[in-house]
Structure 1
Amino acid sequence: MKLIKFFSAIMLLTTTLMWSQETKPGVISGKIIDKATNEPVGFSTVSILDGTKPVAGVSTKEDGSFEIKNLELKSLTVKVNFIGYNDASRTVTLTEENKEINLGNITLEASTNTIETVSIVKERSTIEQKADRKVVTIGRDLIASGTTASEIFNNIPTVSIDPQTKELSLRGNSNVRVLIDGKPTNIDAAQLLQQIPSASIKQVELITNPSSKYNPEGNSGIINIILNKNSQTGFNGSINSGYTFGITPKTNQSLNLNYKVGKVNFYTNYGFNHGRNRSEGFVESDRQNLQNRQDFDFTNTNTSHLAKVGVDYYINDNNTLSFFTNWNLADGKGISNTFINYVDNTSNIDELQKNTNNSGNSTQTYDLNYKHNFKKKGEYIEFQANYAKTTNEDLSLFDNNNVLRLNDLDSKTNYTQFNIDYTNPIDENTKIEIGYESRIQDGQNNFYNESLPFFGSNPFSFNRNIHAVYTNYSKSFGKFSAQVGVRVEQYNLDARFERNEKNPDYYEATNVEDDIFTAYPSAYLSYKLDDSNTFNVNYTRRVDRPSIGQINPIREWTTPLLESRGNPALEPQFTNSFEINHTKIFKIGSVTSAVFYRLINAEISRVIFPNPLNSIQNIMSFDNFDNNSQLGAEVNANLKLTKWWSTNASADLYYKTVRGTVTNADTNLPENKEIDVTTFNTRLNNTFTVTKKLRFNLFGMYRSRDLGLQFLRTPMYRADFGANYSVLKGKGTVSARLNDMFRTQFFGFNGNIPYRQDGEFRFESRTFYIGFNYNFGSGKNKELQRKQRDKQETQGGGMF
């Protein structure tokens, strides 16, 4: 012990002597402030120059103060710079008599072209390939393609929106999970995308194979929509106003505000959407010699409000507290007519069904987040609590050949989520992540119908709880980076459909109970061949649990010949997903390519079968098919071909085998079917720069036919042309766009199972959009770190 103490004393003495020899006596301190507001300018850069040679430098603290030690006693130059300000400099001389100099307040004057250098919305959308996702930054060219997220998503690579149902698909698969700012939402994705104004979207992240850190739901992966929120100092914001003219006019307005002062950042977004939409279509069918043609005419008037208010409190360099709330309010009014013409009128009378519909939706979301950074760089722990409450009501009055009936469907859902995430970089090349997550969801649906056999109230209630833990281990070695992880979840579901007491023979009580314990592994390997070529290989296991709407036996809508309802017997669908990516960087841009394979167990899909209680009506529902597989490839290019021409181009090809059992309406017997399907999609978005102020945009897309067990979807294509013009010294932009110039986009289908039918639906695809965007404020571009879960980005550990 004495020997240890002796060597410890020697080491301490040696270190002290070495430090005393290396330490220099000079100290310079001061504080940086804004000349106009006298507010401190934190995180600005202070450099010490010996002539033109930099010898030391620091970033100022939150309060603008700085102190630089260990300087030689000589004449030095202090230089201060920060984005949005003119540089400032001071000359000082350190001597034996004046070793420590306090410069007091150093003022920075705002640059005269501050607004010109800060762009809240980029002119042209960009695509960036990261290790586990594509990041699409929304520019004015995409904003001008439509007023809502639903309209611009068809212009994003690998994403498509069904023009009739508004259903969202990623890589040709509709089993995709949608997040807003990295947080879940109780609103149906098709409805949500029609409520979000296009100008409120900053980025869209396409996460096709998420790691074990993320919720494994969604066969195709995750689409994370990041809304605008900037962190510039002072007060600033933007206004966006757009109008769309088709058969009927529509409008979209949004306001983004931000105020950053000291340690607090306030931000808010508000979006307003209003418009009337017209569509029409027909379906011709022949079942058991019952030939008929249904003609549809729809008029819907929708109004929605989306508001977000939030605050970030930067307690100190290591602690951040954040809170935000989202409010979605939507109101819809619809009028539809369905005329059924029976070819053989001897046994059936032609029918005219008129439907007047009023619907309302309200969602409130509250999110609290706390993050603590430890002393070790990259080590942190983060806590998040999220609560959402959703209410829906749908009131429909049907007039079927002067026979009236009223349907009243209302639902309430509560959702609570709690997360704890811990990240520890063990060393420069190694990182470990662990976390816990709970998701608790409960709801009550009630369907009231004034007609038999549904007469009376039919309540449906559910409780769904998911508890999970995960861990990820990442390591970099040479040109390789790897990550392995596993997520373990306990899933509980208890859903009950109560029997209609006024008609007990129609429906017995239906109970659905699930108690499933499952592991979801993930693995990633990245190889950086050189600065221009990176390869990624990854594997994940994912799940698609039946949604509440898919298992809810309460009918969603009905016509005399077709009714839509859920299937309480649905089981979860599991997917093993493999993917290979390559990113190639050129002088003119980048090209990313991918090949993927999915093996799907008990795939959930749409199905149509005869209604046992109505010989002329069919039921559209969901069912589990057999195990299926999908193989696909895609290529995305983001290139600046010349000084005046840039392009975003993408193409994808999918091959899938679909197996399942469907009911033939003519025989009422099940049929086992298997089909092989190849589909192809491509998009081309060109931007032509005429002058610094004027740009033109030309967009085209093609979606090939797609074949299912029951239907063939016909090909679809369109072309758009637009222009952007910069005004008000770069603060404003005027945009104009003609969508579907040749009116070629429509939805068509045909099939023979469960009976012969073909149809076509047309909507307001050819429209003219005009919009105006204006950026205002005197804010300076002071980027502060946003909590990682909000950005939904993996951190540290090489490529991962």
Structure 2
Amino acid sequence: MKKQITTLSIPSINPGWSQTHSVGRNRGYVTMLTLLFALFLGTCVSAQSIKGQLTDGTNQEPMGFANISLYDANDKLVKGTSSDIDGRYEIIDLPAGTYRLEASFLGYATQSQMVTLTNDKTTVELPAIVLSEGGNNLDEVTVTAERAVMELGLDRKIFNVEKSIAAAGGNAEDLLREIPSITVDLEGNVSLRGSAGVRFLINGKPSAITQQAGFLQTLTASNIERVEVLTNPGAQFDPEGTAGLVNIVLKQKTEDGFNATVNLNAGTGNKFDGSVDANWRKGKFNTTLGVNGRYDERFFRGFREQTATFADTTYSRYFTFDGLRQNESKGFNLGTEYTINKYSSLGISGNYRTSTGESTNLRSTQFFDDNGDLNSVSYRTEVEPQERENYELRADYNTTFAKPGRNLSASFQYSESDQTEVENYDESIFGPEGDLFDESFQNSPSANGRTQYIGQLDYSQKIGEDFKFEAGWRSTMQRIDNVADFNIYDEDSQEFFRVDSNSSRFFYDEDVHAVYSTFGGKVDKFTFSGGLRAEQVYTTSFLAEPTGETFENNYFKVYPSVFLGYAVSESGTIQASYSRRVSRPRDRDLNPFVDRGDPLNLRTGNPFLLPEIINSYELNLQQRFGMGTFTGGVYYRAKSDLITRVTETLPGGIQIGTQANLDSGRDYGVELITTLRPSKKFDLTASANAYRTEIDGTLQEGAVQANGYNFSGRLQGSYEMPWNVKSQFTYFYRSPGVTSQGRLNAMQSFDLGFRKPILNDLGAITLRVTDLFNQRKFGYTTEISGLSTISEFQRESRIVYVGFQYSLREVKGKQNRQRSGGGDDGGGDDF
């Protein structure tokens, strides 16, 4: 009698195992020397210039990335620029005369000021210009300008996504599919310029939630203000990640009073999600609250065809997959920031998330002999229920000083996550005539617990008007406990029994202690920054069961970074940069236990993996012109101890996959991004990334040399239709590419969306179709030790979504501004 088990008792997890199992490792901090960069450049200024600073009228903070335009007496545009991250701007090389300077930012009233330059004064510094929502223009000019779709910072590309259709009705994963340089595959894995080593930050800070599978689906896109892509991050950032960093900047609610945003979405095939995000700012407190939920069903299907040609045998087999994945999740976050005084603030926040799901799959396998005749057929039913739970607590302290230009911030973060999963297998094998050969029942319960601590301290100080020094420290400590059992069903006893040799318990400790320092500034047309980060890493892998083996890998490394920018003209900038990065092996990559859940495709880790080191070089040019911008760049990445997934063929055609270090790898690439706005109603963004990959190394089967070209491109456009309906399309294409042991197939998709404002622009309805032509498929071919594989996989991606968004705002800040200007004191709060 068949018996399907879907729930099992999981051994308890003790993330603090290292206190009793640390195997003699001496923990603690090491003394590290901070290397400071000191740079000096001299220059002579021979023409007039205008400079100043912009501030946000709602919170008195510097306003970065705002637009500054300068017009002559005939109202003709002379020059333009944008404010830096500290809100400062400068327009140089101006002849004497009278000008009108305009400062603008999306959602704020444009401010104008008349400026007169004379020959007896080379530089005019204007008083700080304050931009406020609904504020009065200094000379009654009411022109406003939208923020550029893409902006180029010294060390990053900034994509402003507030106008995206996906931002109105999707999640962060949908949004990233529209960002140049970024590719999101069928499983939600993100790659940057073709490399999967991407790390995420939230508001410029690390977060435990970014390490969870599917975390992008938990972030509501309408809460995201911009996405910053750092392919060469500076020394102040964690160097982890082959490709670079993606910083997701969330919208900050600064208006006094109560604000709330509601998002509801429904998609074909039982897909539903909703969220409520609220903010209440009163007095010295600014409190935020968020609640979200999601239910998602996705089918997946695919095939794999294998042909084996060994010295003593030849055969083939054909696999098909047909399954469904269900996931239900709920999230909650709460935080408050308290303004201690005019210099300091303290923030405390936390988030909690839980999810349950189940994956079911029917896999059929046909086995053929050397004559192509059918030998047997296997039908394998796989049912995998799983549960996840994680929470994070953090405290942030920030202070400035009486002397402007100095800032000190400190943060501490604690997080825990637990995941349990049971893999249930029911397999029946039939002969070519349909007679039953064999049947078996197995299950493999597993549990994974992770505890993480992050402490960080950062200090910055301006030196004069044009230079800035930064230094800081950060420690990250994590403990992981992984339990995996393998059970076989016994027909006689009618119960499962544990196979000790195929079961494991694996512990992993990783401590990273780092200090950094950077120095940068601006001299005439040059902008520069240089820094150094030093890190001491301690790691211990302990396979408690079944072998009791311990593996340690402790190392000290330094990571320099250098950035140099030059303003070729008032509308053109050229930049060069270099940084060193690291890709550290994860606990799954290091666990030497062999996972035999799939008897024909085994998986194991490699405890001897070394960290991969990446030296990255870039040269970029951005040119602004009448209808848009052009950004072009070339890059080169040199990799040593390259971590790659490799597959070995065992006797009987069984494959075992693991990770290995290859000697080296190189990427040579070029990236082009163009934004166009031919009219007020139509804008277009086109991007392309082409690169050559070279891989050198030695595996068990011999030398590996995989060279090839890869290309990806994206075309995105939006058009404002009649009745105030905005439409948007995104087309993506990725060419065939190379891996260490084979080739990837081409992949493409086309998305289409519409957005209609309603309820006096406080709400909107959206209609989106993802992968309209059902082309988002993943396929590859490999040739390994006489075993040739052709595979294709598809996860449901053609989906129609309908969404509704509504914003509730208490118009309190506007009344306060009227009162401060001598207006009417009467009236209560309005909604």
Q: Same fold (TM over 0.5)?
A: yes
Q: Is the 8 A contact 1:168 1:190 kept in 2?
A: no
C-alpha distance in structure 1 between counterparts of 2:474 and 2:427, whole Å = 50
Residue in structure 2 matching 1:268, options 289, 293, 312: 289
Are 1:366 and 2:388 counterparts?
A: no
Residue 197 of structure 2 is matched in structure 1 by: 175
C-alpha distance in structure 2 between counterparts of 1:299 and 1:618, whole Å = 25
C-alpha distance in structure 2 between counterparts of 1:109 and 1:186, whole Å = 33
Residue 564 of structure 1 is matched in structure 2 by: 603
Q: Rate the CA distance shift 1:637–1:189 in 2: closer, same or farther, 3 A.
A: farther
Residue 715 of structure 2 is matched in structure 1 by: 684
| Secondary structure of the structure 2 residue equivalent to 1:463 | strand
Shift, 1:661, TM fit: 3.0
| Secondary structure of the structure 1 residue equivalent to 2:654 | strand
| Secondary structure of the structure 1 residue equivalent to 2:177 | helix
Residue 60 of structure 1 is matched in structure 2 by: none
Q: Is the 8 A contact 1:201 1:225 kept in 2?
A: yes
Q: Rate the CA distance shift 1:279–1:146 in 2: closer, same or farther, 3 A.
A: farther
Q: Rate the CA distance shift 1:110–1:639 in 2: closer, same or farther, 3 A.
A: closer
Structure 1: which amino acid aligns with 2:192? L
Shift, 1:595, TM fit: 1.2
C-alpha distance in structure 1 between counterparts of 2:634 and 2:645, whole Å = 27
C-alpha distance in structure 2 between counterparts of 1:125 and 1:280, whole Å = 41
Residue in structure 2 matching 1:355, options 382, 385, 410: 382
Are 1:249 and 2:270 counterparts?
A: yes
| Secondary structure of the structure 1 residue equivalent to 2:222 | helix
Shift, 1:453, TM fit: 5.6
Structure 1: which amino acid aligns with 2:396? N
Residue in structure 2 matching 1:234, options 246, 257, 264: 257
Shift, 1:732, TM fit: 1.1
For residues 120-139 of structure 1, the aligned pairs below 5 Å read: 126-139=149-162
| Secondary structure of the structure 1 residue equivalent to 2:663 | coil
Q: Rate the CA distance shift 1:171–1:41 in 2: closer, same or farther, 3 A.
A: closer
| Secondary structure of the structure 1 residue equivalent to 2:164 | helix
C-alpha distance in structure 2 between counterparts of 1:41 and 1:674, whole Å = 58
Residue 388 of structure 1 is matched in structure 2 by: 415
| Secondary structure of the structure 2 residue equivalent to 1:194 | helix
Residue in structure 2 matching 1:379, options 388, 406, 423: 406
For residues 181-260 of structure 1, the aligned pairs below 5 Å read: 181=203, 182-185=205-208, 188=211, 190-245=213-268, 248-260=269-281
| Secondary structure of the structure 2 residue equivalent to 1:571 | coil
Residue in structure 1 matching 2:354, options 315, 329, 334: 329
Listed one character per residue, the Cα deviations across residues 125-170 of structure 1 (whole Å, up to 9, x for unaligned) are: 932221111222333534269743233322211111121x432111
Are 1:584 and 2:623 counterparts?
A: yes
Residue 23 of structure 1 is matched in structure 2 by: none
Residue 481 of structure 1 is matched in structure 2 by: 527
Structure 1: 5+ residue stretches without partners: 1-39, 45-82, 88-107, 113-121, 501-507, 664-669, 783-800
Residue 788 of structure 1 is matched in structure 2 by: none
Q: Is the 8 A contact 2:201 2:210 kept in 1?
A: no
Listed one character per residue, the Cα deviations across residues 672-699 of structure 1 (whole Å, up to 9, x for unaligned) are: 1212211111111111112462111122
C-alpha distance in structure 1 between counterparts of 2:264 and 2:148, whole Å = 19
Shift, 1:559, TM fit: 2.1
For residues 77-116 of structure 1, the aligned pairs below 5 Å read: none
Name the % identity.
26
C-alpha distance in structure 2 between counterparts of 1:392 and 1:225, whole Å = 25
C-alpha distance in structure 2 between counterparts of 1:472 and 1:491, whole Å = 21
Shift, 1:421, TM fit: 0.9
Residue 550 of structure 2 is matched in structure 1 by: 511
| Secondary structure of the structure 1 residue equivalent to 2:397 | strand
Listed one character per residue, the Cα deviations across residues 255-283 of structure 1 (whole Å, up to 9, x for unaligned) are: 11111111111112222211111010000
The two structures, once aligned, show a CA RMSD in angstroms of 2.8
Q: Rate the CA distance shift 1:435–1:110 in 2: closer, same or farther, 3 A.
A: closer
Residue 686 of structure 2 is matched in structure 1 by: 649
Q: Is the 8 A contact 2:484 2:503 kept in 1?
A: yes
Structure 2: which amino acid aligns with 1:621? T
C-alpha distance in structure 2 between counterparts of 1:597 and 1:586, whole Å = 28
C-alpha distance in structure 1 between counterparts of 2:502 and 2:602, whole Å = 18
Q: Rate the CA distance shift 1:200–1:548 in 2: closer, same or farther, 3 A.
A: farther
Are 1:416 and 2:453 counterparts?
A: yes
Q: Rate the CA distance shift 1:144–1:539 in 2: closer, same or farther, 3 A.
A: closer
Q: Rate the CA distance shift 1:186–1:465 in 2: closer, same or farther, 3 A.
A: farther
Q: Rate the CA distance shift 1:594–1:327 in 2: closer, same or farther, 3 A.
A: farther
Shift, 1:342, TM fit: 0.4
Listed one character per residue, the Cα deviations across residues 225-261 of structure 1 (whole Å, up to 9, x for unaligned) are: 233442221001211111111xx22012111111111
Residue in structure 2 matching 1:597, options 636, 651, 654: 636
Structure 2: which amino acid aligns with 1:272? G
Q: Is the 8 A contact 1:303 1:331 kept in 2?
A: yes
C-alpha distance in structure 1 between counterparts of 2:387 and 2:595, whole Å = 15
Q: Is the 8 A contact 1:660 1:709 kept in 2?
A: no
| Secondary structure of the structure 1 residue equivalent to 2:529 | strand
| Secondary structure of the structure 2 residue equivalent to 1:275 | strand
Residue 68 of structure 2 is matched in structure 1 by: none
C-alpha distance in structure 1 between counterparts of 2:420 and 2:810, whole Å = 44
| Secondary structure of the structure 2 residue equivalent to 1:615 | helix
C-alpha distance in structure 2 between counterparts of 1:360 and 1:756, whole Å = 36
Q: Is the 8 A contact 1:258 1:267 kept in 2?
A: yes
C-alpha distance in structure 1 between counterparts of 2:356 and 2:638, whole Å = 40
Q: Rate the CA distance shift 1:607–1:314 in 2: closer, same or farther, 3 A.
A: same
Q: Rate the CA distance shift 1:760–1:123 in 2: closer, same or farther, 3 A.
A: farther
Shift, 1:476, TM fit: 2.0
Residue 617 of structure 1 is matched in structure 2 by: 654
| Secondary structure of the structure 2 residue equivalent to 1:150 | helix
Residue in structure 2 matching 1:466, options 512, 517, 534: 512
Q: Rate the CA distance shift 1:237–1:218 in 2: closer, same or farther, 3 A.
A: same
C-alpha distance in structure 1 between counterparts of 2:613 and 2:181, whole Å = 21
Q: Rate the CA distance shift 1:195–1:615 in 2: closer, same or farther, 3 A.
A: farther
Are 1:298 and 2:337 counterparts?
A: no
Q: Is the 8 A contact 2:165 2:753 kept in 1?
A: no
For residues 629-708 of structure 1, the aligned pairs below 5 Å read: 629-663=666-700, 670-691=701-722, 693-708=724-739
**Please, what TM-score do these two structures have when normalized by structure 1?**
0.78
| Secondary structure of the structure 1 residue equivalent to 2:553 | strand
Structure 1: which amino acid aligns with 2:688? A
Q: Rate the CA distance shift 1:455–1:753 in 2: closer, same or farther, 3 A.
A: closer
Q: Is the 8 A contact 1:124 1:687 kept in 2?
A: no
C-alpha distance in structure 2 between counterparts of 1:448 and 1:202, whole Å = 44
Shift, 1:717, TM fit: 1.3
Residue 767 of structure 1 is matched in structure 2 by: 799
| Secondary structure of the structure 2 residue equivalent to 1:752 | strand
Residue 470 of structure 2 is matched in structure 1 by: 433
Residue 81 of structure 2 is matched in structure 1 by: none
Residue 282 of structure 1 is matched in structure 2 by: 303
| Secondary structure of the structure 2 residue equivalent to 1:627 | strand
Are 1:407 and 2:444 counterparts?
A: yes
Shift, 1:553, TM fit: 2.8
Shift, 1:728, TM fit: 0.9
Shift, 1:423, TM fit: 0.9
| Secondary structure of the structure 2 residue equivalent to 1:240 | strand
Aligned length: 659
Residue 75 of structure 1 is matched in structure 2 by: none
Residue in structure 1 matching 2:560, options 517, 521, 524: 521
Q: Is the 8 A contact 2:162 2:222 kept in 1?
A: no
Q: Is the 8 A contact 1:585 1:591 kept in 2?
A: yes
| Secondary structure of the structure 1 residue equivalent to 2:459 | strand
Shift, 1:455, TM fit: 5.1
